Chain A
Amino acid sequence: MIEEGLKNELQKQGVYVTSLQELYNWGRANSVWPLTFGLACCAIEMMAASMSRFDLARFGAEVFRPSPRQADLMIVAGTVTKKMAPLVVRLYNQMPEPKYVIAMGACAISGGPFKQGYNVLKGIDRYLPVDVAIPGCPPRPEALIHAIMTLQEKIRNQKLTGPDRPRHLNADVEGEYPVPAYGKHDLEPPKNPDLWNPPTMTRK
């Protein structure tokens, strides 16, 4: 591993040195291809973000792929109904590793204004590992761009070796998540207990 100071010195002399990890993460971070898929009004903002005014292409994320097999990033943009949730999880399972999830907007985070509805999932984090959550109803395109930049930072800082290495480099970790089944009143199970459990709150 080369020291940061020495690297800078060498760069001044015109010698560019990098590590495989840096190169690998640089490549991944600058070509995060999202899956073309929107669930509600947040998807309109997502589309706006990819258009010329906000120009998501500057961050290498403009190639919205129409197939999960080619996508790296799932932007859960909108209300996830209980009828839609198994399909969202299935799409995620079909994406190749490495894959990331952005929960865009209040609905994808917690159910938002529809939280008390009988048919709305109270946050996609009950079934999928969310990397970045964007609050807002809906979030502006700048917020989505910020989320993608946050994700890029996360990718750039991932270590390829060691116990904290990403999931796709760890053969012991399963990349697929169980798809919930349609029950009589709710999804079964209503949450993935390995991923999400209600936080314990102290109340007075």
Chain B
Amino acid sequence: METPEQIKARLEAALPSAKIEILANECALGERSLLVDAASGFAVAKFFRDDAQLKLDYCSNVTGVDWPETEITEKIKVKQVVDGLEKEVEEVKKTIRPGYLEVVYHLYSMALKHGPVVLRMRTENRAGQTHLPSLTPIWRGAEFQEREIFDLYGVIFDGHPDLRRILMWDEFVGFPMRRDYVDPDDYEYEPTPHDEVFDKAKKHYPVEVKAEVKPEVKA
């Protein structure tokens, strides 16, 4: 199978408008993935499926990932002039990376027996602009998995034939798989609480009555 670099080169030749980035993977397997911008996501997916060399006809898995806003601290060496001498001084640079939601598709080819090609798309942010193109028209098997990501992460898939909640009930508000989701407080009965559960259960403990029993002294 082609390397991500080869796929990227051919994609850029076929779709000049697509912005493609190869993402490294730090895990042992080191499987790299292709990050595609949302606008050309659908065209890229279509290329993947129809291209004679790739023929990725099977979408094995769709996953959502929530990346909240994080502060990245980097140590950067900066040249400074101190007392007329040029010195290298280490500075801590803090940058805030805005949060976004990510959708990961694992694609295989049944016809050519190769894969996976990992396709990623990211939303603008986590609050208002969470639209991504639905790839269900290309791989029908993605339908329920995209619905699940919509249900649990809040990614809105444009072009999905039936975008409804699938696991939670329709009246449910919020997206439970997001990192900042606060789950309902029904920790009133925890016989053996520990860690986070202990902190949650504590709110339900009765207010301690600190009445010290004074030893009675006989006169």
Contact = CB atoms under 8 A, between A and B. Distances in A.
Interface string A167-204: 00000000000000011111000110000001111010
B113 to A, nearest CB: 34
27 contacts: A83-B167, A83-B168, A83-B169, A116-B196, A117-B183, A118-B176, A118-B181, A118-B183, A118-B184, A119-B167, A119-B168, A182-B171, A182-B172, A183-B171, A184-B173, A185-B172, A185-B174, A185-B183, A185-B184, A186-B184, A186-B186, A190-B186, A198-B188, A198-B204, A199-B189, A200-B206, A201-B191
Contact of A122 (B168, B181, B186, B196): B186
Nearest to B177: A118
Contacts, number: 43
Interface of B: 167-174, 176, 181, 183-184, 186, 188-189, 191, 196-197, 204-206
Q: How large is the interface on A (under 10, 10 to 19, 20 to 34, 35 or more residues)?
A: 10 to 19
Contacts of B191: 201
Interface of A: 82-83, 116-119, 122, 182-186, 190-191, 198-201, 203
Contact of A116 (B167, B171, B197): B197
A83 B167 CA distance: 8
Contact of B184 (A182, A190, A200): A190
Nearest to B171: A182
The 7 lowest CB-CB distance pairs between A and B, nearest first, are A186-B184, A118-B183, A198-B189, A198-B188, A184-B173, A182-B169, A182-B171
Contact of B205 (A82, A117, A191, A203): A203
A16 to B, nearest CB: 49
A25 B95 CA distance: 75
A119 B176 CA distance: 9
A60 to B, nearest CB: 35
Nearest to A122: B186
Interface centre among B171, B188, B189, B197, by most chain A C-beta atoms within 10 angstroms, is B189
B198 to A, nearest CB: 11
Contacts of A119: 167-168, 176
A90 to B, nearest CB: 14
Nearest to B186: A190
A200 B204 CA distance: 10
A59 B213 CA distance: 57
Contacts of A203: 205
Given A82-B169, A116-B197, A118-B183, 20 more contacts: A116-B183, A116-B196, A118-B176, A119-B168, A119-B176, A122-B186, A122-B189, A182-B170, A182-B171, A184-B171, A184-B172, A184-B174, A185-B172, A185-B183, A185-B184, A186-B186, A190-B184, A190-B186, A191-B186, A203-B205
